[in-house]
Chains A and B, each alone.
Chain A
């Protein structure tokens, strides 16, 4: 693992000047992941904030070969690029070692792109898939996705007189990807840059498919200040909302294990999307969320052999 000094010397493959919001977690995730490639890398991206904000024709923020195809097929598209690479390398038309990474938001990954992702991982392409999870369809204006947490208000799961935000639990995509038995699966957060860059390095290094789920807060959707992005991501980890772990060749490992989790309200309270949960009549919902976090944390610790 390179130290921060060495990382600072690596080229930044996503330039500044893109049109992502101030405080957007996505570009932080992308830059940290690309630092981990440390080799020529072809990147792809699903339709979403990251894509529209980094490629407003005739400009591009990508200093590395980049392809956007559509919303649900970032994985399939990069799998095709990788297949072309395998073919052309075999025929001697390409000599260089090249890495491949597909990015997608949670909408493009948990929901509409899940089939494409699952297929690409099952086929064993030598590629990394990175989900920047901000917990809703932010590009279209904060609609709920399979990654939206229980109780979060979005524009399609608003808090009202009889509904208190999203009534369902979020999908555990990282574990779904671990069930694909691919060489490397990890969950990371933009707040823990060293952990994330290390995970990216491992993901790019393995021979075969790798998946990283990166928590990438969205100030617009989470209703947080734009300078609170890294802090809120850190609290997500400290409260056990977003545990950091990896599954390397089937070995589960917890990467961050506090003596005691912070109460989940520390994660929920600063976010406007959970504001309604703090009404006195919704105290039971806060309790339900805390219980769910505890249950998931215990199950994960057990899986990681970290009792």
Chain B
């Protein structure tokens, strides 16, 4: 099996430089270095600073991108679909309500096998309206046929944005890169960036097989598929998305060669010798690592699995990484209301069900609408896990809502 751990800054052999900037600025910088043919985007908090920074790159002639200031997110994705089908390298960015407004188009983009790269800055879905972080926006579109790459830090977000371009073009699928609204998007972080030329060399030139602008070979995009054909096209999409897992690993490995930063499907943190663990994604992984280090000082054998690739869901690899544990807590920054628990919880639990040996699992929802998730909440999770692992308590049937006021 391919390497599935992340070791950021493990081998600082890359060229480039260290910067201090926000996660959104890092994303805009990656977009500038990629220099896509077309960007069609619409502003929305907390994504806005990406479109602003990118507009500056356009205004100053630092990119030769055709920047389409659309009148809505629906038109943003519609224009991206048109531009990508035309044969251009295309990027966009959004958040929350914007992603929700694109919903119809997301499914069309993937079905048309268009390698569009979109940065979604995670923000809670209305209502009530809220501008702060949770993952309800991107989890709400998890079945749309897009590759979804979550980022813990500005470094990962920057790296994922560049990696996404190659993944998209190799898999012929759209890719969504995610980082946490305000926490990652607006906090200034210290991270390493590549030289423009290295990014350009890495992403290379995009040469589409099918393009509307190839007028000598007219093709029809987006035809009407009746029951005799629809099902097979959906099957083809499933096959393509499943195959994207290995492409993510391969491209990430290639990226490690130029950056010194290697990413897998997920990051295992102090997991190998652990007997209890927390599964988490996004910025809360940082807080979790801090709490794990403290608990380890006290002799608690706790580890973490931080998901990077959520779609396609690497079920077998996750099951293999967790099966030796006694108890696992799965933390969701979104709720799947009316279901057993959050989406990550359900997927992880399902992934482990057929394992010969599997841990007890408890689901948590946390941090909705930007509710602060401090070490104290993670500590309560570890306390729960200790009781479950020690046989003192059974996992709760109902999902536990961390940090909610009664």
* Contact yes or no, A91 B83, CB < 8 A: no
* Residues B78 and A80 in contact, CB atoms below 8 Å apart: yes
Q: Which of B38, B40, B72, B226 contacts A115 (CB 8 A)?
A: B72
CB <8 Å contact, B213 and A42: yes
Q: How far is the CA of A119 from the CA of B72 in the complex (A)?
A: 9
Collect the chain B residues with CB atoms within 8 Å of residue A120's CB.
75
Number of interface residues of B (CB under 8 A): 42
Task: Enumerate chain B residues within 8 angstroms of A91, measured Cβ to Cβ.
Answer: 37, 64
- B126 interface residue (CB < 8 Å to A): no
Does B7 touch A at the CB level, under 8 Å?
Answer: no
Given contacts A67-B222, A77-B81, contact A87 B74 (CB under 8 A): no
Known: A69-B82, A73-B74, A115-B75. A83 touches B38 (CB 8 A): yes
Contact A80 B105 (CB under 8 A): no
B80 contacts across to A, CB distance below 8 A: 80
Cross-chain contact A66 with B68 (CB below 8 angstroms): no
| A55/B223 in contact, CB under 8 A | yes
Residue in contact with B68 in the complex, picked from A72, A79, A118, CB distance below 8 Å: A79
Q: Does A204 contact B (CB under 8 A)?
A: no
Knowing A81-B82, A83-B66, A84-B38, the reply to whether A94 touches B74 (Cβ < 8 A) is: no
- A residues near B221, Cβ cutoff 8 Å: 65-68
Q: How far is the CB of A109 from chain B (nearest CB, A)?
A: 14
CA distance A173 to B214 in the complex (A): 33
- The range of chain A's interface size is 35 or more
* Total residue contacts A-B, CB cutoff 8 A: 166
- Say yes or no: A122 contacts B226, CB within 8 Å: no
Which residues of chain B from 62 to 100 have any CB-CB distance to chain A below 8 Å in the complex? 64-66, 68-72, 74-75, 78-88, 90
Q: Which of A56-64, A187-195, A240-248, A289-297 contacts the other chain?
A: A56-64
CA distance A80 to B87 in the complex (A): 11
Q: Tell me whether A77 and B74 are in contact (CB under 8 A).
A: no
Tell me the A30-70 residues at the B interface (CB within 8 Å): 40-42, 44, 51-52, 55-60, 62-70
B225 interfacial contact with A, CB 8 Å: yes
Check if B354 is an interface residue, CB within 8 A of chain A.
no
- Give the distance in Å from the alpha carbon of A66 to the alpha carbon of B212 in the complex: 7
Known: A52-B224, A81-B86. A65 touches B213 (CB 8 A): yes
The answer to whether A85 and B222 touch (CB under 8 A), given A58-B229, A80-B38, is: no
Q: Whole-angstrom distance between the alpha carbons of A42 and B211 in the complex?
A: 11
Q: A87-B38, A119-B70 are contacts. A81–B85 as well, Cβ < 8 Å? A: yes
Beta-carbon contact of B88 and A88 below 8 Å: yes
Contact A98 B213, beta carbon cutoff 8 Å: yes
Contact A80 B40 (CB under 8 A): yes
B338 within 8 A of A: no
Known: A58-B229, A84-B86. A69 touches B78 (CB 8 A): yes
Interface check B219, CB cutoff 8 A: yes
Closest chain A residue to B42, Cβ basis: A119
Cα-based distance from A68 to B225 in the complex (angstroms): 12
**A91 vs B65: C-alpha distance when bound (angstroms):** 10
Is B215 touching A84 in the complex (CB atoms < 8 A)?
A: no
B393 at the interface (CB under 8 A from A): no
Contacts of B215 in A (CB 8 A): 40-42, 64-65, 96, 98
Does A175 reach chain B (CB closer than 8 Å)? no
Q: Is B188 an interface residue (CB 8 A)?
A: no
Q: Are B71 and A118 closer than 8 Å at their CB atoms?
A: yes
| B79–A80 CB distance below 8 A | yes
Partner of B223, one of A56, A77, A96: A56
CB distance from A93 to the nearest CB of B (A): 8
- Residues on A with beta carbons closer than 8 Å to the beta carbon of B87: 84, 88
Q: Does B104 contact A (CB under 8 A)?
A: yes
Instruction: Render B198-230 as a binary contact track against A, CB cut-off 8 A, 1 for contact.
Output: 000000000000001111001111111110010
From known contacts A52-B224, A62-B218, infer whether A84 and B71 are also in contact, taking CB-CB under 8 Å.
Answer: no
A116 to B83, CA, bound (A): 15
Pick the contact of A67 from B37, B212, B224 — CB < 8 Å? B212
Other A-B pairs beyond A57-B223, A87-B64, A116-B71, 12, CB < 8 Å:
A59-B223, A64-B218, A68-B224, A69-B78, A69-B108, A73-B105, A77-B82, A84-B84, A84-B87, A87-B66, A88-B213, A96-B215
A-B contact pairs, 8 of them (CB 8 A): A42-B213, A57-B224, A76-B74, A79-B75, A80-B68, A80-B83, A84-B88, A88-B88
Closest 5 CB pairs of A and B: A80-B82, A119-B71, A80-B79, A84-B86, A84-B88
